Chains A and B, each alone.
Chain A
């Protein structure tokens, strides 16, 4: 296999001049891969804010595409899912925790090439509050909205538009154990309360 040997040798010798040309992948890349490989999560193509909502793509289509029909689209406008049993599991585990105890937190990864953020859930005498900081997002014609989602992103709870003070009271029954995903979406002003499927930041609370 002289040809292949020559190719290997040529590449090796090329390294002497070129050096290590390897570059690190951007920070958000794994989150995007994980979201697409393991869940029906929408990752719209670049520049497609408010993209065609009727687009349905089978996960197994041969031609690779990054637009999927999310599970929550089937539920249309229904957004809030309340879990009765096991609510406040984290808070109950922390009986007597002092006010403002951090029970879960995460960095927020950028999904569309811009922005960064972090989220912290605090237990204040049994009620949960989430602090979310967000920076570096581009101006939008609509508004940015904060959500909590179940691990498979099938159930969503809206915490409303991004707030200047960055604090969000979690409704009763909503806790990081059941809703570990923090999501920030770019929402058009169309009066539709459902998630736009355009997520810009996401993280998993631990």
Chain B
């Protein structure tokens, strides 16, 4: 069960970021810095490299802020997408350096673009995006999703646990998954 408490985001941070408002970058860091750093931390071999990539993510996002369209997707998803790309770029550089240093092809397990399968990094990044999005959902919707997917309750069991009509439960699940799906799509970049 995700442990992060639901922290309210200031309304309109996505729009303020796109508009380039004075404190918007700081607000974006406070709201999404944890998610961005976590993706980098998972994808890079050391905390120092993770911090370096996380810094690049926010600086690049700020420079590209006029290209972020709040209507098309959430700032969270957009930042996560930049993070995934920057991690993959940094991994490629890292693996190339390993190859040059050792004159042998680097271990391909987990290397970016490993043919066919979604890498372990992709799956973890997805979980992180979803965990961060879940923490910001309206509390009732979050509780329904957690009961249904983390605790594995059936819809009627969820309705019983939270004293909600079955239709409300289904609506929460449908809309909640919709929001999560959008964040995941946006995080693909």
Contact = CB atoms under 8 A, between A and B. Distances in A.
Interface of A: 1, 4-5, 7-16, 18-26, 28-30, 32-34, 36-37, 46, 60, 64, 66, 113
Interface in B1-19: 1-4
B126 A7 contact: yes
Contacts of A24: 34, 37
Nearest to B37: A25
B26 A11 contact: no
Contacts of B145: 12
Given A32-B55, A37-B25, A21 B127 contact: yes
B185 A4 contact: yes
Interface string B15-38: 000000000011001000111111
Contacts of A8: 130, 177, 180-181, 184
B52 A11 contact: no
Given A21-B124, A29-B55, A66-B52, 13 more contacts: A4-B184, A7-B184, A8-B184, A10-B126, A11-B127, A11-B129, A12-B134, A12-B180, A19-B3, A21-B42, A29-B37, A29-B51, A37-B58
B59 A9 contact: no
Interface string B24-66: 0110010001111110011000011001101110111011000
Contact of A25 (B33, B130, B150, B181): B33
A14 B127 contact: yes
A33 B2 contact: no
B132 interface: yes
B79 interface: no
B123 interface: yes
A30 B123 contact: no
B75 interface: no
Contact of A23 (B41, B130, B152): B41
Interface centre among B26, B52, B124 (most CB of A within 10 A): B52
Contacts of A19: 1-3
A16 B153 CA distance: 12
Contact of B48 (A9, A12, A15, A46): A46
Contact of B149 (A16, A23, A30): A16
A30 B184 CA distance: 25
Given A8-B180, A9-B149, A33-B29, A26 B51 contact: yes
A12 B149 contact: yes
Contacts of B42: 21
Contacts of B54: 25, 29
A169 B123 CA distance: 56
Contact of B51 (A7, A11, A14, A25): A25
B128 interface: yes
Interface in B141-185: 145, 149-152, 177, 180-181, 184-185
A12 B51 contact: no
Contacts of B149: 9, 12-13, 15-16
Interface in B84-136: 86, 123-124, 126-132, 134
Contacts of B37: 23-26, 29
A36 B59 contact: yes
Given A20-B131, A34-B26, A64 B60 contact: yes
A15 B59 contact: no
B29 A30 contact: yes
A14 B118 CA distance: 15
A34 B34 CA distance: 16
23 contacts: A10-B123, A12-B180, A14-B126, A15-B1, A19-B3, A20-B2, A20-B131, A21-B128, A22-B34, A22-B35, A24-B37, A25-B33, A26-B37, A26-B51, A29-B33, A29-B54, A32-B51, A33-B25, A33-B55, A33-B59, A34-B26, A46-B48, A64-B86
